[in-house]
Amino acid sequence: MKKEIIKLVDVFKIYDMGEVKVNALSGVNISVTEGEFVAIMGPSGSGKSTSMNLVGSLDTPTKGKILLDGEDISKLHESDLAQIRGRKIGFIFQSFNLIPTLTAKENILLPMVFQGKSKEEQEEKAKELLELVELADRENHYPNELSGGQRQRVAIARSLANNPEVILADEPTGNLDSHTGGKVLDFLRKLHKEGKTIVMVTHDKDLAQKYAEKIYWIKDGKVEKITKK
């Protein structure tokens, strides 16, 4: 039986905006099992980005539990969370979030530096990942010297640097044309077939239905329905 990697249990997230309190999530339950391709789907303002931040351990809930490999991480300090996050979850952001003053290779090396990997290990892994995303000839190029699709492929390589259990992709095709976006998603599908767990956050119903095995439909801070292939 496959293990449950991430589980949100009756999670509430309330943002205190002074005189106003915003209920971003109200009792959300989400489960991600090893090897799944899961989509969190919803329109702007539905709570899907907040769900992503909680699934990715980038934020903690106001109420409820977040279990990562069975451990309740809701009460952990940020420094401990950052270490767990760095090992277990790889992030791909819509805006790529590459550091402009670092080359493609240096951007990929960075997560390994934070995890204390040896220099030899870092170099070997970066070379392997650049080849994997077909950018070995662009390793010394800076982000502004790369196309949008190439930048997103660098971001994918960076997300794999510490061999995480889960790849969390936030609107991974949001800044790309449809052809390039399709190539990026085909790459995510390939990673999934190789055994990676993928969680994709999107507002695009067609993308969610084409690629994901399980979709959480979020509306007004709640899971409206769950559909499976």
* pLDDT at position 1 over 80: no
Domains recognised in the chain with CATH numbers? 4-228 (3.40.50.300)
- Banded pLDDT at 151 (limits 50, 70, 90): very high
Across 19-35, b (16+ Cβ under 10 Å) vs e yields eeeeebbbebebbbbbb
Using one digit for the tens of pLDDT, what is the confidence trace for 70-101?
A: 888 887 888 888 888 888 899 888 788 899 99
Using one digit for the tens of pLDDT, what is the confidence trace for 168-177?
A: 998 888 888 8
Q: Which residues contact 195 (CB under 8 A, 6 or more apart)?
A: 35
Indicate the SS3 state at residue 149. Answer: helix
pLDDT of 115 reads 83
Q: How far apart are CA 119 and CA 96, in angstroms?
A: 25
Query: 119-132 vs 148-159: helix axis angle to the nearest 10?
Result: 140
Note the pTM of the prediction, 2 decimals. 0.87
